[in-house]
Structure 1
Amino acid sequence: MTSKPKLFPLMVDLSDKSIIIMGAGSVAERKVNLLLDYLQGNLQDHLQNYGKGKLSVISNRFSPTLLTAAEDNPALSLITEDLEQLSDKALSKLLADAFLVIPATSDKQLNGRIAHLASQQGTLVNPVDSVGEVTIPSIISQDDLLISISTQGSSPALAKFTRQKIEQLLTPQYPLMAKLQSEIRIYLKKQVSDQALRKQIIWEILNSKEVWNSLSESYEMAKQSAYKIIANHTENLSQ
């Protein structure tokens, strides 16, 4: 029995990357809905250089959902090809310049062939019918707060279930705290040379009921509470 690879969680900037989905069924639709939000930057330059959107779906036919999505979003291109009839050379040409390839046809053998050709070109592959070198997790995204959950292919349903449980715990204050922490960290790096003290202040703010309660009222109130904590640690710091 072949052991599964031990996957490392990694956040990746996709704003200047090309992604190709082979196949246009329900799995492809879900991938498109998930990925489009992460492919919006520098779109005009990409269209000029490559003549297509950053996310390409290749199939011999497309659902009304995908057709509408392509009309509404220039980052998405639909390319008509009968993948089963293409030679390895033709498939490899379609895969050229892709950062990530997602074989999502209804033919498992064809998916394996696409994955093999992409890997030969050094392209990352996210198989939809097996565990490969890339897996796309279940995602919680609230402004700067981004949480990914994966079972490494064992149970997508459990990953979704876990995501739903975590979402119930995340109040609207969490993304605001992420914003506040970012601002405080920048300030402390300029004003406090002692790294241990900076860490202590950051955690005191995170554990402060006053700061969390203030976030329920307004961001500025929470900010004032946080700077009071900073001032308590050093007389040289001011709000």
Structure 2
Amino acid sequence: MSTPGIITQARMGSTRLPGKVLLTARGQSMLAYHVERLRGSGLPIYIATTTGPEDDAIEQHAAALGVPCYRGSTDDVLGRYYATARHFGLDVIVRVTSDCPLLDAGLIRAAVDRYVAAGNPQLYISNGLERTFPRGLDFEVFSFALLEQAQQHARSASDREHVTPYIHQNRSGTVVIEQVTRQPDASQLRLTLDTAEDFTLLRTLLEQYHADALTTDALIELLNQHPELVALNAGTEQKKYDFTR
């Protein structure tokens, strides 16, 4: 296992906030912030989008950002994700979603280093199963072997849509799960982009507080010191399946 990379899912067709990843703050798209934060990990980044014509905009924007893009099925997200990993020859995969513009590259890199040092292709590492980080900082690390197993055996529509349930629910019975947690618990905070209210908060953080330059601890401290910011999207309900959007 020596070829790690980050695959991020991106599409224009969000039901709650269409085109959300190309919304802008301070003259830059949410997807651009997302990519710039991930670049701090030192890992290659790939975008997995759909073959739908509306996602031509994603492919064009990826090219402008200098990020390779693979296009696959709209509905079979697991199949698209698997094809992306196979196309780019990855055997260690970091899964993130593009509605998270303030991901922590250092946290991700540390998890990948931990994963590679373990040398176990059955290992799965995540900070999203036992949630202690704000929503919007989620990541998963797993092997291509586990992804291929899911691709071959996952059958339900939910499994195909959400990519990793077959893995992190340990359907094969062979997965070793390790969780990344933090103290104090900050899971009550929301830094993801799913609604107009979420965008209002993120735009405020980026334009007024230059949040793209802040560490996770600094972001959490900022929100703890400014409850009026937290209130901007405090009423947003997460979708039922909230970990692997």
TM-score (norm 2): 0.33
Larger radius of gyration between Structure 1 and Structure 2: 1
Relative to its length, the structure with more helix (as a share) is 1
TM-score (norm 1): 0.34
Higher relative contact order (CA 8 A, sep 6+): 2
